[in-house]
Amino acid sequence: MELKMKIFRFDPRKDEKPRYQTFAVDAQPTDRLLDCLNRIRWEQDPTLSFRMSCAHGVCGSDGMRINGICGLPCQKLVKDFKDEVLLEPMPVFRVIKDLVVDLDLFFEKYNSIKPYLLTRTPAPEQERKQSPEEQAKLEESIRCILCACCTASCPVNQKKETEKYVGPAALVRAFRYLFDSRDEGSEERIALLGHKDGAWGCQTLWKCTEVCPKKIPVTKQIGQIKRRIHEARRPPK
């Protein structure tokens, strides 16, 4: 079948403003959209730029807006689209070229939540014990591949006046450490997260959860962080 792909183009070297270009690709119904993008670059226009690597939704490289919704083209099959697909770079981030965006700010925010285990007690000789139930709490959050689809889709992040909001991806990682039974840094974490640009920046709009390519219940996890902060700050009875 033939699939039309309408693609956002911007080359800082020659374009003053972005434009759209439509390509026709001969595709099998079970091809991934990423396969089609590759075919365009290899056979029709070598100047088309987009990131990719593992091609099966694990590395998190190829986040983009597909028919207006952020997702990974390596997870989408041609058969699920009719005639024409619109591909655009993720919103929120600065476009560098075509579908490639600048993720520096995304990773700065990620780094700001101290994404590592904080411990005070010296490590035992063997493993720190953790029950299967305690580990299971983390299981969904550790699926995160940092593709940035959630943060790009968040209406709070999209608004200029609230752009400092740390965003859902960083909060998922914060959840992963805050609720890790081995972590001893909850006071520090609560201070890092308990403000308007931290967990309270979330307005529970569910866009992150809707788009997450790894089906992480992002909004629910942010809710649990809020609750944890609230409980920690409640004056003792």
Give the nearer residue to another protein in terms of CB position, either 136 or 205: 136
Give the nearer residue to another protein in terms of CB position, either 65 or 176: 176
Give the nearer residue to another protein in terms of CB position, either 63 or 201: 63
Give the nearer residue to another protein in terms of CB position, either 35 or 156: 35
**Rounded to the nearest whole angstrom, what is the least distance from the CB of residue 128 to another protein in the complex?**
6
**Rounded to the nearest whole angstrom, what is the least distance from the CB of residue 155 to another protein in the complex?**
25
**Rounded to the nearest whole angstrom, what is the least distance from the CB of residue 202 to another protein in the complex?**
22
* Structure token pair of residue 153: 């889709």
DSSP labels for 46-80? Answer: TT-----SSSSSSS----EEETTEEE-TTT-BGGG
**φ/ψ (deg, to 5) at 22:** -105, 130
**Rounded to the nearest whole angstrom, what is the least distance from the CB of residue 204 to another protein in the complex?**
26
Give the nearer residue to another protein in terms of CB position, either 55 or 86: 55
What gap in Å lies between CA 62 and CA 53, rounded to an integer?
8
What gap in Å lies between CA 158 and CA 46, rounded to an integer?
31
What gap in Å lies between CA 183 and CA 121, rounded to an integer?
10
* Structure token pair of residue 5: 């792909």
**Rounded to the nearest whole angstrom, what is the least distance from the CB of residue 148 to another protein in the complex?**
10
Q: Interior CA angle at 61 toward 157 and 41, to 5°?
A: 115
Q: How far is CA 217 from CA 116, 147, 196, 208, 214, in A?
A: 21, 15, 21, 8, 9
**Rounded to the nearest whole angstrom, what is the least distance from the CB of residue 97 to another protein in the complex?**
5
Contact residues toward another protein (CB under 8 A) are 11-13, 30, 32, 41-43, 46-47, 49, 51-61, 75, 77, 96-98, 100, 103, 111, 114-117, 119, 123, 125-132, 134-135, 138-139, 142-146, 176-177, 180, 182-183, 215
Give the nearer residue to another protein in terms of CB position, either 67 or 75: 75
